[in-house]
Amino acid sequence: MKIKLLLFGLLFLTFTTCLSAKFNRFEGKYKVDLLNKVGNPSHIIIKDTEQVYIYFFQDYSQAHYPNKIFSVYISNSTKIVTKITKTTSRLDLDEFVKVNF
């Protein structure tokens, strides 16, 4: 049982590392490139000067690891990704949006 849990933890760590690398390479690129490669976001927040795309990856395992949330900030004028933040949280998507935005 411990070996399965350790193996799952290792696979989950590899998965999150790949996600981080995938998202970080879009900083400075156009929004269209991001949508073509990653897909539609889980939630979109529209502000005056920017849009925030929220990508939410929930953990469904029995280990209950924190959820991975990527916030991608896109300029309204240039449509270029300006900033990407990665957050780990035990909140679900709606709670996270209420608390942080």
Per-residue pLDDT tens over the stretch 47-100: 989 999 999 988 777 677 788 899 999 999 999 999 999 999 888 899 999 999
Instruction: Judge contact between 55 and 69, C-beta under 8 A.
Output: yes
- Looking at residue 17, its pLDDT comes to 61
Q: How confident is the model at residue 101 (pLDDT cuts 50, 70, 90)?
A: confident
The pLDDT value given to residue 15: 54
| CB-CB contact of 58 with 92 (8 Å) | yes
Helix, strand, coil shares of the chain, percent, nearest 5, are: 40, 30, 30
Of residues 81 and 17, the one with the higher pLDDT is 81
Tell which residue, 30, 61, 64, has the closest CA to residue 53: 30
Q: Looking up tokens 């939410």, which residue turns up? A: 56
Per-domain residue ranges of the chain: 2-100
